[in-house]
Every structure is written in structure tokens, then in C-alpha cells.
Chains A and B, each alone.
Chain A
């Protein structure tokens, strides 16, 4: 029996939560969305979206290597993203090189990571189904224990963000004054990349390496278009990420198209709407 969407929302919700795999997908989607929405807001503010993207790409060879070595894929994700974060921190450490030097170095790392990923997939025998899951996610194949692991990581990341948040905000928008005020900006930068790596590794297991951005960047970028207040922006970013992941899962359940497509389309649509609304409403709205 294929699920059928009706106007009765309660009945729809009951259909949606009939199967455990769907309940776990909703749980995992919610956890990942809240974490990605929060850390993504800082990432967009710090202009580290390229670093975040690179971490996501790095998760692919990590997962592929873990599959090849027949160890749990999670180890591959977290190991690769952890090492990637440290590598990015080392590149970023050469401050004198400036932004362009940094992004070129990050791009090099990204290209190498992709190449490694294809090597591992090739060595494994090039199983296409596995490759697709690594790149575009396995929303519907999440186990109960994966949900628990995700929850622990999300709590850890969000707690760390709550403690570091204010100096991190200071360092992100006003580094030289923060440094003069005694904020350890270099250390914060490294810790932030490690947290980002952790969040990306967790998110990539659900959304796949290439769709991480739907939850990490787009809701945060949309929130920053809508409001310049840090508190509201964070809450909005989390709310948007949560909304697109649940709506995406819900729509995908009743449609023949994959979850990843719906999540990315919804968040992209919201971003475009926010852009149109803020540019159309002129300066008044942009400054809200």
C-alpha cells in the first residue's frame, strides 16, 4: 500500500509515523537540523562556508575508506572530518596569506579528498548504490542507535557553542578588537573548525556528503538575510533547518522523489524568497 496524502493532517501524520524507519528519519532529521542550523549560522557569519564545504567533501573519502576497511562508517566520517578540521586550521594559521591564499589551500585539500574518495570506491568494486548513499544520503536507513549517537553529538556541539558563543561572535566579526580584549581568537578558530567537523560528520551521515549544505548553509544564510540580530538569527536559522528537514521528509514520503531533493529545494526556495523580500522591501527591511 503506497502512502496517500489527504487533507486530514492527523491521518497524514499517522501514516508518516507508521513505520519505525520513518520515525527514526524524523528524529535524526530534527537533531541534525538543530545542530546544523546553529553551527551553520556561525559558519556563514565567519565566511567559512568554503571550509565547511570542504569538510563535507572530506567526509566522503572517510566513509568510503571505512566501508573498504569494513569498520563502522561512522568512524570514517568522524575521523576524516576531525583530521580535515585540523588540516584546515593549519592552513588558516598562515594569516599573512590572506583570504585568497587560504581558500586556494582549502580548494587543494578538497580536490585531493575527492580523488581519494573515488579511489576507495574504485577499490571497493565501484558499487554504485553505496556511492550514491555516501554522496546523497541515507535519510531512510537510520537505525535507533544512530539516532542516539547523533543526539549525544548534537548535545555536545550545542553545549560547546553556548559556552563559546559570545567570544566566538566577537572574534568572528571583530577579530582585532577581540584579540586586544583578551579573546584567544586563534584557539577559538581551531575549536570552531573541530566543532564544525563534528557537526558535518554527523549531518553527512544523514544527508550525504554533497547535500550537507542544504542544512548547514542555506537556513543560516536565509536567517542572516532576514535579521541582523544575533539571537533572533540563530533561532531563525535553527527553525528553518528544522522546518525544511521535516517538510522534506514528509513530502518525500508521499512522493516518488528523494528526500535530499525536497530538503534542498525547500531551503533554496526559502532563500530565494528571503532575497526577493529583502531586496524588494528596500532598506527598511534589510535593517530589521
Chain B
């Protein structure tokens, strides 16, 4: 009989129970350091004779139940996986999670929009979140000195951050005395990083934290990073940073095609704005002709809409150097011009350099404007406005 007891603290402090620890579960090494799993054999007679507190007894019982539950779940998962592999005619031994996902989406095609609502088969370790480890020994004494704060892992983290900061302050003082300056080249770049979001920090700590506590974490981390020698504790800091996606390189720029007259052209389909739909073709050596549904720019009688069409062309300096053809339907004039503007800007990416693309992105030309008319709500005058308050 194996007993699943959770907790790194156990290894450190409770030798009684851990004399019999035979092996650390293979999965535990990949998980966060706060929720390691330790497999322990049933307590020997020596331990059983010792006085065990009621809380510890209840905990051991719960841990055993959880362990058994996870075992059955894992068994079910393995069997299910084998069945699925056989159904798909694949080798069950080399059937990966990706194969499972593919098989499920093939066998149970779902029209549900939200991905979380679609049928899925995942390993029980993912489905059932990690439980917190035993925080006290069999006599009921807590292992952690910050147990009574209620959130020992979180406050330990704050403690660690302050310790690191103090270390850096000491270092700074010593370096100042010696006349050494911090290395500017090694400075930590925060541009591409973000502090670990609250929900991910919670998963990491296996504790729920309040908003104000999270802001405390952020401010103390910022103080640590602001130190001129912060690169000395880079390893510690990087554990609590999350890399951001580079927005400018996210979208792939299509290669222009060649038409019959030997001109380069790009067609952007599905240009949306409000309820207008358009597809826009931009041809490279051109004379600045604009063709919208067979008409020229006078298709729009409002000045602002015409200005919108020319905005990306003028911004990229290609006004008069390219021809634009657009088919547009639905919506009003401002929606149509907005749709065409987006289409032109997206197509122009193929004819300008990377710097200009980034510049256009900063100007907000490459973002699709997804905003729609907000519906009127009952009991209200409009989308947001309430009726005038009248006492009676």
C-alpha cells in the first residue's frame, strides 16, 4: 500500500515519516517546488504507536483517499488512451497528448465556440489541481514558521525577495567603497517581460492571494529589479517574470503575386469594420488610381471617409505609387471606409520595410477595429445611459 503525502516540508522536517520514503514520484520533479509529491509507505509500527494528532489522522486519511482516487483516474486515463489509440489505428505506447487531442476532435467534432467547453481528454494531473502538502507533523506542530499567517508560501516568497534586495544593497555598498560600477550591459531588460500574473502566481504558490497582496509582491519585486546590481540575482528574478509576445512580428507578411501585366499585387479578403465587409487589392507600380465598387474616390461623399482611404497610403509614403481596387458591401460610409482603410494598410505591408510596418502598427492602422454597436439594455435609456431618476 502506498500513501501519497504531499509536501517538500515533509522531507526537511519530518524524519519519522520520511525514514520510509522510498522514491520521489517521477512527476514531482516537473512541478512547482511548493507542491512536490512524495510517496511514502504505510507508517511502520514505531510511528503507529506514537501519539498522532486528530488533525494529522484526518489529513493522512484524506491524503490516502486522494491518492487512491488519483490512481484510479490515472488507470482510467491509461485505458482510455489505449482504446483511443486502437480506434485510430496507432501504437498505444507512443500515443502522445497531441495525438489524443487530434483523435478527440476527429471523433467528437464540436461546434461549440469556447474551447474549454469542447470535449477533451487530459491526464488527471492536469484536470485535478495540486493539493497543498501536509503543513504540520503528527503531533500537530506546523513545519513552517509562517504557518499561522495562513499563506506561508506567499509570505516566504516576500521574505525571500526582501532578503535578495538586502543582499544587493550590501553588495552595492561594498562595490561603492571599492569604486566599482555596475555593468550596464548586464542590466535586466524588462521591456519584453511582465511580472507573473496573479493567477499564475497562485498556481505556483498553491495558495490564493488577495489583490493587495499581489500588488505588494509586484512592488517588492520592482524594488528588487530597480537595484543597479539586480543582474546578480537574475535567476531568482526570472522565476517570477513572464515573457511577452513581440507584437510586431506576430503577423506574417504575405509575398506579393504577379498579375498579367507583370505588376505585383496583394489581395486582402475579409476586411471588417462595423457591419461593412470588403476585399481590397493593391497593385504596386501604379498611378494612385482608386476603384471602389467601380467608382473612384467620389464613391464616398463625406470628406472624412475619403481622408480615411488616403490615411495609410499617405502615412507609408506610397500615395500615387500604388493602385487600389476594393469591393465593399454592408454598413454605412464610415464603416465601409474603415474596412477599406484596414485592407489597404494590411496589403501595403508587403510593399514597405519592417520599420514602416512597426510604425503603421503604432499608428493603429494594422489593428482590426472589433468594436461594435453596443445593444440597448432594458430599464435603461440606451447602452449605458439610465433614465432620469424620479423619486415618484
**A and B bound?**
no
Contacts from A to B (Cβ < 8 Å): none
